[in-house]
Amino acid sequence: MKSLTNSDTAISTVVSAVLILGLIVTVATIINVSYIPEWKTDAEYSHMTGVLNDMSDLKSSIDLLSVVDSQNTSISVPVKMGGGEIPIVAPGKSSGTLAVNDYNYYLTVKASNSSGEIYNSSNYLGSISYRSNNNYYVDKVFGYENGALIVAQDNRSVIKLSPQITLQNKANVSLDINAVCIKGGTNTISSNNIEEVQLISKSSFSHTLYQDNNLTQVSVVVSSAYPGAWKQYFNTTAKSEGLTYNINYKLKNTNRNTVNFTVNSTNNKIDLTVTNDSFIARLTPLLNTR
């Protein structure tokens, strides 16, 4: 009888262990299927917000160097490449690709007076971009080109931080353009660590390329991987200054990657200033966070 009791106890212990194990497996499965994807999506979204802040710091650093009268001044900006990790339950991270001058964008400025075209100059400006490689959240691109910070997702893009282009409509229409040139060779880093973009100013002041205040027409031609963002930016900026489309300004795509923004004047009084700043951009590993 005692042997039978011991046997029943052993069986009960085994059954309990199996039930507990089954419960653990069930709970783990529910967490993996129902909760972890949502948690990881939220974590990768937070990382994208962090990358936006990093790239905004990059844009702000370039703007700062543009007003500092010092040659070979250097600023380094860290960019967190990967994220979305959840300690213990889902420690794996997403990754990203940081690139300098993988595409060479340009800015062309044309100016005319009553006698015809008197200025036509193009500047190849370079680019700095971050492309995410997320596991759950939708991928994004953060691109610095032609002095602007652009955010792209799927087939949509928007200029998040404005370029160094100022349009004003007061007594006369004035247009101030600083062509920011990112020099240095093509460089790309893919990782889930923290990488660093080093910026070095190559001029002690902004070089004035052209200045005139008796113009009838000015055209700004921008080449970009995101022409829609530039078209929206120019249109919004012109309207905010009280300019009327097809009368004071026009917008058109000269090809699939190029936008032409043209400002017209009826009183021969468009004021134009074109300046240039040059920087070298380098990518360097900063920290391994794995």
Instruction: List, for residues 125-165, the tens digit of each pLDDT value.
Output: 999 999 999 999 999 999 999 999 999 999 899 999 999 99
- Domains contained in the chain, number: 1
CB 249 within 8 A of CB 263: yes
Instruction: List, for residues 96-113, the tens digit of each pLDDT value.
Output: 999 999 888 899 999 999
pLDDT of 61 > 90? The answer is yes
The structure tokens listed for 125 are 């400006």
The structure tokens listed for 225 are 């991987």
pTM: 0.85
Structure confidence at residue 226 (pLDDT): 94
Highest mean pLDDT among 17-31, 101-115, 215-229, 268-282: 215-229
What span, in angstroms and rounded, lies between the C-alpha atoms of 91 and 192? 12
Could you tell me which residue, 123 or 1, shows the higher pLDDT?
A: 123
Instruction: List, for residues 197-232, the tens digit of each pLDDT value.
Output: 999 988 655 667 778 788 999 999 999 999 999 999
What span, in angstroms and rounded, lies between the C-alpha atoms of 240 and 259? 19
Structure confidence at residue 5 (pLDDT): 55
Domain that holds residue 75: 2-287
